[in-house]
Amino acid sequence: MSGLIAAFLTSFAMTLLIIRFKHLHLHFTADSDLFGPQKFHKTVVPRIGGMSIAAGLFAAILIKTLDLGIGNTELILLLCAIPTFAIGLTEDLTKKISVRQRLLFTAVSAACAIYLLGIEITSLGIPFLDFLFAIPFFGIVFTIVAITGLANAYNIIDGFNGLSSMVGIITLLAIAYIGYVLGDTTIIFLSLVMAGAILGFFIWNYPLGLIFLGDGGAYLIGFWIAALSIWLCARHPEVSPWFALLINGYPIMETLFTIYRRRIHQGKSPGMPDGIHFHTLIYRRILQAKHFDSALSANARTAPYLWLLAGLSITPAVLWWKSTSILIAACALFIISYLWIYTRIVKFKTPRWMHL
């Protein structure tokens, strides 16, 4: 509990300081692009919220490290996260880091987690596919791709105030709950301290958008959640591998559908920004017209729709975390639901209940 409190208070205080003294750093920390396809803010805002989350993690893990001594797993995971956070923060400060470079550094973080902590996918829970993991290095490569992909996914869904940060908090609490059921204090601690650190930032980000998460924060959260999701399954074979997939269903689906839409449907690079993400459609087709007099109001009202969407995959993952067959069925149902709602919005046939 002391770690959770330390993470929250440190993140909260640092975010306050960043906002209070933004006049000293805004010239190089601000998101000053107000007209891009994925930009929905009207004023210049600092985008280094990831620094607060990293500071919260560091404070919480430092306290535990001093109690237990150097070499504990919590500190090692934090060290593994440094490359992905550093490259994301560098992008926030310079605006000159490509997606490929960010993915490369995140892959380094993933490789470190595999080597130092054994965070590796070794099974999919499907006998006729599990033979692939007998191929040398297949599991390692698959794990690196999975962790890197989810880290990037959190950056993709970070489009509106409070969106990715609250999805991250909900996911981490779900992981912590399963860790509690299994009596895994390491998973519980690492999940809760990250949730606390994110909450310290979230209070300042939602609903007013006084500070943004930035690439550093998004990649750090995505990496952390990916590592814990996989590690939970690796430490406890009774947890279905599909739990790790379904609990992250929303960001994963958003990323895969974005790749399909850009590469296959539009013939463009998946790394190019566009304005037709799920969250963007909800903002433009449902909320912007209703709250045309207040862009801030429409922005803040967008995230809850996606929190609920994320809940459609997180809830069954928590309820049936042991059952591969049920989780596979839930994955299929979530994919169908996502595509159905997305298609209805695109065709201007948004379900009535979404206009409430």
Q: Which residues are annotated as a binding site for Mg(2+)?
A: 155, 215
The two tokens of residue 206 are 């939602």
Q: For residues 258 and 169, give the distance between their C-alpha atoms in angstroms, rounded to a whole number.
A: 23
Q: What is the biggest distance separating any 2 CA atoms in the chain, rounded to whole angstroms?
A: 59
Q: For residues 64 and 159, give the distance between their C-alpha atoms in angstroms, rounded to a whole number.
A: 34
**Mode of pairing for the β-strands spanning 45-46 and 30-31:** antiparallel
Judge residue 155's burial from the number of C-beta atoms within 10 Å of its C-beta, 0-12 exposed, 13-18 middle, 19 or more buried. buried
Half-sphere exposure for 47 (CA within 13 Å, toward CB): 28
Q: Which parts are annotated binding residues?
A: 155, 215
Beta-carbon contacts of 99 under 8 Å, excluding residues fewer than 6 positions away, are 152, 271
Cross-strand bridge partners of residue 212: none
Q: Are 219 and 91 in contact (CB under 8 A)?
A: no
Q: Are 146 and 226 in contact (CB under 8 A)?
A: yes
Beta-carbon contacts of 175 under 8 Å, excluding residues fewer than 6 positions away, are 187, 191, 225, 228, 229, 232, 247
Query: In sequence order, what E strands does the chain have?
Result: 30-31, 45-46
Q: For residues 112 and 285, give the distance between their C-alpha atoms in angstroms, rounded to a whole number.
A: 43
Residue-level length of the chain: 356
